[in-house]
Amino acid sequence: MPALFGQLAQPLHYAERLLASFTQLARSRSKQQLQDGLAEAAGTLSGAALSQLYLLDVTHTQLTLTAEWLDGRRYERDTGALSSDYRDEQLLQYCLTQNQPLYIEQLDNHLYATDFLPADAGNWCSLLCLPLQDDQQHVSGLLLLASREAAQLKVYGDSLHLLGNFTLHQLQLLQQARPEPAPRPAEPTPALSRSYGLIGESPAMQQVYQLISKVLHNPVTVMITGETGTGKELVARAIHDYGSRRSQRFVVQNCAALPEHLLESELFGYRKGAFTGADRDYRGLIDNAHCGTLFLDEIGDMPLTLQAKLLRVLQEGEVRPLGSNETRKVDVRIITATHQNLPEMVSQGRFREDLYYRLAPFPIDLPPLRERGDDIQLLARRFAEEACRFLNRDACQWAGGTLEQLRDYGFPGNVRELKGMIARALLLCEGNLLLPEHFNLPDDSNPSSAMSLRDRLERVERNLLLECLQRNQGNQTSAASELGLPRRTLLYRMQRLNINPADLKARERNHV
C-alpha cells in the first residue's frame, strides 16, 4: 500500500473512511461546517479522544481555536479562557514557526505547557500537532490530536495533513464565493486593528502595515527605505516581534558607526590570535543572531569588501570568523535599512549589484512625516504624554492652533525631529499649556502668515526640486530626467526659486 497510510492495521478500510471524509468535507456549505467536519473526521479516523482545529487570522499573528471535538461529539467551552496569541504556547508556536509536525508519545504536563487542552476532560498522554498550509503554501493553521493513553498517532500524520490542507483550500473557495460583508463605517477597519506597535492611521501607514503583514512568517529578506528619522528600526523590530522568530534574538548594527576593520570583526567574529589584541575567541553578531534577526542599519555605508562577505552569508547561509579556516552554518534573517539611493550607488559602482538584488526582494518604503497628515497630531500627543510621564509631571494641554501649526510644518527630520521638538517644548513650558512659541517653528510654517497663493506654490515647488536633486546627489541632468523636464527648464526654475548648491548641502546635513 502507499506510504501515505503508514503502519495502519487495515489500510484498505482506512483508505475508504479517509475518502469518505474528503467527500463529506467537499459537500460542506458553510465555514463552521467545514471546520467542525475536519475536527470530527480527524478524531474519528485516528481514534483520538480530542481533535482541535486552530486557524491564523489574516495578519498571521493571532491563533484562534475554531473547532473542537471531544469523545465523539462537538465540545463547547469558553474559548475566551484560551490565549488567542500563540506566543505563550510553546508547542503550538514550534509547529507554526518551524512548519514541522510535532509528535509526543508520552506527554508530561510537568515538562510541557498544555493550557490549550481541556483540563476537565482527564489526563492527556499522547499528542500529534500538524501545521496546515493554504494555497500559497503559507502556514495558516494547526490540526491537533490528543489521546488519554499512549497511542501511535504519528501514523495518521500524512493522511490527516492532506485532509487538513484540503479543508483550508475549501475554506478559501467558500470565502471567495461568499466574501465577508464590509464593516460598518463606525467600526475600525482590519488594518487599523493591527498596527504592530507602530503609531499612525494615515493611508500611507496603512500600506506599510499591509506590507509588514506579508513578511511576518515568510523568511524573505526585507529592505526598509525612507528618509532619516522615519522609524526604520521600529519597523524592523515590529517584523521581528510579531513574526515567527520573535522568541529569538533581535541584533542591531549600524554599518556607519564603525570603521571597516572593526565592523568586520563585530559582524563575523574572530579567533584568538587573528590580529594584535585578539586574546580570545569572539562570536560575531551574525553568530549571535542565529535563529533570530540581524538588523543592519545604513547598509549603504558598508564597505565593498564587507559586502562580498555578507553576500556569502545570504547565499550559502554560512559565516567564517577572522583568523579561521572553518565555516559555520547560520540561520539568520537579515533586515536592512538605508536612506540612500542604492540603485544610484550600484550604477556608480559604490554598492555591489549582486548584493543589492539579494537584499531588496521585498522593499518597504516608509513615508516622510509631512505625507502622513493627521498622524503628526497623533504622534505629537503621544510623545507629549510619554515625555510628561518621564518628567513626572501632569499631562499637558494644547493651546488652540498649536497642533495645526505642527501639521503644516515640513519636518525635514521626520518623526525623530518631532519627538525632540516635543521634549524641548515641554522643558520651555512653565505652566501646563503648550503654546506655538514653545516649538520655535519657522515663520513660513504658520498658516496665518500673509502668504499669497503664488508664494505657497513656489514653496512647494522649491521643496520638490530640492528633494529630487538630493535623490540624484546634485546631478541636474538626472534630476531633470526624473521630473520629465528639459535640463534648461530645470536650471531656469532653480535660478528663479533661488536654489544653489549651498541649499542642497544644508538639506543633506539636516538629513544626516
Question: Is 487 found in the same domain as 358?
Answer: no
Q: What is the pLDDT of residues 314-367, one digit of tens each?
A: 999 999 999 888 888 999 999 999 999 999 999 999 999 999 999 999 999 999
Residue 149 CA to residue 192 CA, distance in Å, equals 46
For 83-143, the DSSP string reads: -SSGGG-HHHHHHHHHT--EEESS--TTTS--TTS-GGG----EEEEEEEE-TTS-EEEEE
Question: Is 407 found in the same domain as 284?
Answer: no
Provide the pLDDT for residue 510. 46
Question: Is 385 found in the same domain as 353?
Answer: no
Instruction: For residue 150, give the 3-state DSSP assignment.
Output: coil
Within 8 A by CB and 6+ apart from 198, the residues are: 205, 208, 209, 231, 234, 235, 238
Provide the pLDDT for residue 508. 58
Within 8 A by CB and 6+ apart from 94, the residues are: 100, 102
Of 93, 62, 431, give the one whose Cα is nearest residue 244. Answer: 93
Provide the pLDDT for residue 449. 45
On whether residue 219 sits in a domain, the answer given is: yes
Question: Is 215 found in the same domain as 93?
Answer: no
Domain ends where: 177, 194, 220? Answer: 177
320's grid cell: 567564517
155's grid cell: 501514523
φ, ψ for residue 50 (rounded to 5)?
-130, 135
Domain CATH number, residue 492: 1.10.10.60
On whether residue 198 sits in a domain, the answer given is: no
Provide the pLDDT for residue 337. 96
Q: What is the pLDDT of residues 321-333, one digit of tens each?
A: 998 888 889 999 9
Instruction: Give the count of alpha carbons within 13 A of 164, CB side only.
Output: 30
Question: Is 398 found in the same domain as 467?
Answer: no
Question: Is 396 found in the same domain as 503?
Answer: no
On whether residue 132 sits in a domain, the answer given is: yes
The total number of structural domains in the chain stands at 4
On whether residue 343 sits in a domain, the answer given is: yes
Provide the pLDDT for residue 448. 42
Torsion over CA: 268, 270, 271, 274 (sign):
positive
The segments of the chain whose pLDDT lies below 70 read: 1-12, 59-61, 77-88, 109-110, 177-194, 442-456, 501-512
Question: Is 78 found in the same domain as 157?
Answer: yes
Residue 371 CA to residue 205 CA, distance in Å, equals 10
Question: Is 68 found in the same domain as 19?
Answer: yes
Dihedral through CA 105, CA 106, CA 112, CA 114, nearest 10? 80
Q: Is 68 left (phi over 0), alpha (psi -120 to 50) or beta?
A: beta
Q: How many residues does the chain have?
A: 512
Residue span of the structural domain in which 216 resides? 203-365
Dihedral through CA 224, CA 226, CA 227, CA 232, nearest 10? -30
Domain CATH number, residue 169: 3.30.450.40
pTM for the complete prediction? 0.58
Question: Is 287 found in the same domain as 218?
Answer: yes
Question: Is 226 found in the same domain as 358?
Answer: yes
Domain CATH number, residue 403: 1.10.8.60
Of 145, 119, 118, 116, give the one whose Cα is nearest residue 130. Answer: 145
